[in-house]
Amino acid sequence: MSPTYCGLVHYPVLDRSGDEVTTSVTNLDVHDIARSSRTYGLCGYFVVNPIDAQHPVVEKIIEHWSTGAGVKRFPERTEAIGLVRVARSIEQAIADIRHREGTSPRLVGTSARNGVDRISYAEERARLRAETRPTLLLFGTGHGLSPRVLQACDAVLAPIEGPTEFNHLSVRAAVAITLDRLFGTKERSNNPI
């Protein structure tokens, strides 16, 4: 199985108008995605944000759950928050993984938009089982990853879709669903993915 990491990308992502922007870090994204990452056995979780003023926000969240008041109430969350790393860029996250694993990761993007190049979760699950290189799953904040990030990926997963036209999941929900589809152990008899 490929050692797998995830990255929550705050830049470059799109705003509502389709312009590239940088979004802000939120407590819930850091905390909840760390818990999902630990639950599904990921090797690390990168919060990718180029703004120096945002890094202490992430560090304060890590401190709260690893040595602060949070550890007293929920000691098991220390294990999850230990996966969190701050990176100024996707390239820095790639370099960190290369340093840890000895080789650069495959990049797998996610998007709520359809495209001709999208792959199914079943295809990616099979690749993760066969692949020896590490994999970095990229999730975008705001209105999703910039097209230039998606173009740089080795693969882009098909969007998560429900039975309605509404398709605007929180990134925390999208990460949890994606990780369950790729790493979940329960059989899904009616699941077409």
Q: Is residue 59 part of a domain?
A: yes
Q: Is residue 188 part of a domain?
A: no
Q: Is residue 193 part of a domain?
A: no
Q: pLDDT tens-digit profile of 138-179?
A: 999 999 999 999 999 999 999 999 999 888 899 999 999 999
Q: Is residue 103 part of a domain?
A: yes
Picking from 142, 160, 179, 166, the residue whose alpha carbon sits closest to that of residue 43 is 179
Residue 85 structure tokens: 């790393």
Angle formed at CA 99 by CA 95 and CA 104, multiple of 5 degrees: 55
Range of the domain at 162: 4-183
**CATH assignment of the domain containing 40:** 3.40.1280.10
Q: Is residue 112 part of a domain?
A: yes
* Total of domains in the chain: 1
Mean pLDDT of 79-86: 92
Picking from 26, 15, 33, the residue whose alpha carbon sits closest to that of residue 172 is 33
Bridging pattern class, strands 155-157 and 118-119: parallel
Bridging pattern class, strands 13-14 and 20-21: antiparallel
Choose between 193 and 180: higher pLDDT.
Answer: 180
Q: Is residue 92 part of a domain?
A: yes
Say if residue 190's pLDDT is above 90: no
d(CA 141, CA 75): 28
Residue 26 structure tokens: 């939120």
